[in-house]
Structure formats: structure tokens, C-alpha cells
Amino acid sequence: MASRRNIALYLVPAVALVTVFLVLPLVVVAILSTTRWVGVGTPEPVGFDNFSHLLTDPAFRRALANTVLWVVVGTVVHTPLCVLVALVVARRPRGWRFFRTAFFVPNVISATALALLWYFVFHVSLGPLNTLLRAAGLDDWARAWLSDPSTALGATMTPWVVYVGFGMVLFLTQISTIPREYYEAAQLDGASGLRQDLHITIPLIRRAIALQVLFVVGYALRSFEYPFIMTSGGPADSTMTLSLYIYRQMMTANQYGLSMAAGVVTLVVGIVLTALIFLGLRRAER
């Protein structure tokens, strides 16, 4: 009995922190999402009008669709790219330490600085991308990447997709825990390196892959820097994300209640996507 009391006492600080900095703010957000409030004065209760407005707002629906697309691209492009780089580096080819460091360096640089860098990369007249295309005689391919609705969203996703350092380190850490005896046995059976990766490495790092997908979902739901700095959500809301939509409603339109409602929807989307990931992981393990 005394040991249980001691355990409870150890948990008190953590429970208090979670309650003050997570539970209570969520409760406040949920309450304010049912009000009309401009940031000052007394919030006016409006029921579920804010949520009804979100369903009919083309900008919000575009932001929701774009955010889901960020999740899809992060899952089917970014994560496999991280796995591929980790598999190559794990074999320790010549210069592997240099490449491991080079891939990870962007993760310690401010996302704001990287967004500005890629803004100039895609710049219509000053950007090196269009300059290289024209120099190669591909003038028809050069375009205003950040001003064209058909390419703007892909351009804002590009920096995030190609920076694979964090996922690479995550997978390298998991790969290092795999016993070498598995690979030695596979080599004795004549398995090639590709077969070893497909039948030994990837199955044994599936938990790390699921964790990486969780990180992808978390980042996609708060993706802000790249679309905000590179396109400001334009053109025609083609690069709008949920985080940018919430920011615009709160800081530009002073519709705090509407932004809180959008935040609640973002939370629900995150919970649903996380549940689907854990469900998929459980089925894979079975």
C-alpha cells in the first residue's frame, strides 16, 4: 500500500504539468470554439456556428485537403526516402560519415532560413532552378513555380521532402540494434544485399517506420514555415494548410473563435490519423 502511495506521489508533478499545460488549454480552446470573439471583450456564445462556417469555407476545405496531402506525401515519399538513405548509410560505404552529417545538417538549421533559401531557389527570375533550365535549353520548363497554382504546393513541400536527416538517424539507430547473426546467416544462404534489406532490415524496423509516420503526421498538421514564407498560402489558397489557416483567422481577421474551431478540427484529424497508424502497425505485427 505504501509503495502505491509513493508511486502516486512521484506521478503528481507530471500529472500537474500535463493538466496545466495540456488539458486545461484544450478545454479552453474547446469552449472558445463555440463563441464569437475578436480577442478582447467577452466572447459571445454561438453554438456550433463556427464549425458550420468551416464546412462551407472553401479556404478551410482547401487547407484540410492540402494538410492531408502533406501527410500522404510524407508517408509515401519522404519516409521511404529516409529508409532508403538509412539502408545505404548503414552499409558504411566510402565517406559514409560525411554523408550522414551532410544529410542531418539541415535539421539543425532554422526552418525559416531554409524556407527563405528555397524561396530564392524557385524565384521566377533570380532562382537557380529556372536559370539551369534555360541554360539546358529547357525554356518551356521554366515557370513561376511559386505563383502557379499547379506547382506552388509541390514547391512548398519540396524542402521538407528532401531533408531526410531526422528520419535517417531514427532508422540508423534502429538498424544498429539488429543482431549481425541474422545477416551472416542470410549471407550463408546466398541472400543478396537487397533481399537482406527486404526480409530482415525493413521488417525489424517497422516500429521505427511507424514512429516516423507519426512524426510526419505531427509535422503536417503544424506545417507553417514553408507555405507562409514561400507563398503566404497563395496563390488562390493553393498552398494553404490548417496551421496557416488558423494563423490567418486569428492574426489577420481577428476571428479567434473561428480559429479555435479550426484548431479543434485539426486535433480531431490528428487523433484519427494517429489511431489509423497504430491500427495498421498492430495488423502488420499480427
Q: What is the mean pLDDT of each run of 10 residues along the chain (286 residues)?
A: 74 90 92 89 90 93 94 94 94 90 91 93 90 89 91 94 93 93 88 89 91 92 92 92 92 88 93 87 74
Report the pLDDT value the prediction gives residue 69, as an integer from 0 to 100: 95
Cell of 158: 519540396
98 CA to centre of own chain: 26
Nearest to 229 by CA among 238, 219, 239: 239
Instruction: In whole angstroms, give the CA distance from residue 255 to residue 238.
Output: 22
Report the pLDDT value the prediction gives residue 261, as an integer from 0 to 100: 94
> 10: burial class by Cβ within 10 Å (0-12, 13-18, 19+)?
exposed
The CATH code that applies to domain 28-285 is 1.10.3720.10
The letter for the amino acid at 66 is: N
Q: Where along the chain do its domains lie?
A: 28-285
- The enclosing H or E element of 274 equals helix 256-285
pTM: 0.90
DSSP code string of 138-174: -GGG---TTT-TTTHHHHHHHHHHH--HHHHHHHHHH
Instruction: In whole angstroms, give the CA distance from residue 148 to residue 152.
Output: 6
DSSP code string of 6-28: HHHHHHHHHHHHHIIIIIHHHHH
Report the pLDDT value the prediction gives residue 2, as an integer from 0 to 100: 55
Residues 6+ apart with CB under 8 A from 234: 147, 152
Q: Are 241 and 223 in contact (CB under 8 A)?
A: yes
Report the pLDDT value the prediction gives residue 90, as an integer from 0 to 100: 92
